[in-house]
């Protein structure tokens, strides 16, 4: 595996983890949705207790800064920290689903966050039983085929009234579709996000 080459070349340690899906929890069958579910549902149990904080970064993310800055950031006692979706690219106003219908009513003025990069304070997450709370919400919502279309993103945003999210500064996640080019130079990470207007894939 490439990890073995990388860790020698760049001097980092890594461990692979595995966790069996609980028999009592509603199962996902599509591979992509299984991956999404593991990203958010089992944060309190898949990592060793000695680990205090983790940062998730999507594989298609371009990092342009020292991630230690993000690791050390004070997220004000919240168990999770995400970056809200940008709102500077006005061409995308009609596609901002969180500003209309169900999401507008549910969020009640709170931002809708993107899941391509996020921080988990594992100590706070476990202390507040946030994993149990998210699994309860998931068990209820996942049985409706019209719910959780973006599982790893919709679930924490839906639950943020109970599992509070710290909103990271916008520069921590820039994506061309939603943010526009004016703020790109200040971005700390770049996300190759989809463009709902053109339907173009992330990579061509």
C-beta separation of 165 from 113 below 8 A? yes
Domains in the chain, start-ordered, CATH in brackets?
Answer: 2-191 (3.90.550)
Between CA 23 and CA 26 the distance in angstroms is: 8
Predicted TM-score (pTM) above 0.85: yes
pLDDT tens digits for range 92-103:
788 888 999 999
pLDDT band at 87 (very low <50, low <70, confident <90, very high): confident
Q: Is 63 helix (H, G, I), strand (E, B) or coil?
A: strand
- Closest by CA position to 52, among listed 117, 125, 115: 125
Stretch 3-9: mean pLDDT, rounded?
83
pLDDT tens digits for range 18-77:
899 999 999 999 999 999 999 999 999 999 999 999 999 998 899 999 999 999 999 999
176 pLDDT above the threshold of 90: no
Between CA 77 and CA 81 the distance in angstroms is: 10
């Amino acid at each position: 595996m490439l990890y073995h080459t990388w860790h020698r070349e760049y001097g980092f340690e890594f461990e692979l983890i595995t966790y069996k899906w609980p028999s009592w929890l509603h199962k996902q069958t599509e591979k992509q949705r299984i991956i999404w579910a593991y990203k958010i549902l089992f944060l309190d149990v898949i990592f060793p207790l000695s680990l205090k904080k983790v940062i998730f970064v999507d594989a298609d993310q371009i990092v342009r800064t020292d991630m230690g800055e993000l690791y050390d950031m004070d997220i004000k006692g919240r168990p999770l920290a995400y970056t809200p979706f940008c709102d500077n690219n006005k061409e995308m106003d009609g596609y901002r689903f969180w500003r209309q219908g169900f999401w507008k009513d549910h969020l009640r003025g709170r931002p809708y966050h993107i899941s391509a990069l996020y921080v988990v304070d594992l100590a706070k997450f476990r202390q507040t039983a946030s994993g149990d709370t998210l699994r309860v919400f998931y068990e209820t919502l996942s049985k409706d085929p019209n719910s959780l279309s973006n599982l790893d993103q919709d679930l924490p945003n839906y639950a943020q009234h109970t599992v509070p999210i710290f909103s990271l500064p916008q520069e921590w996640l820039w994506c061309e579709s939603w943010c526009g080019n004016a703020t790109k130079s200040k971005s700390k990470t770049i996300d190759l996000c989809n463009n709902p207007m053109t339907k173009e894939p992330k990579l061509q």
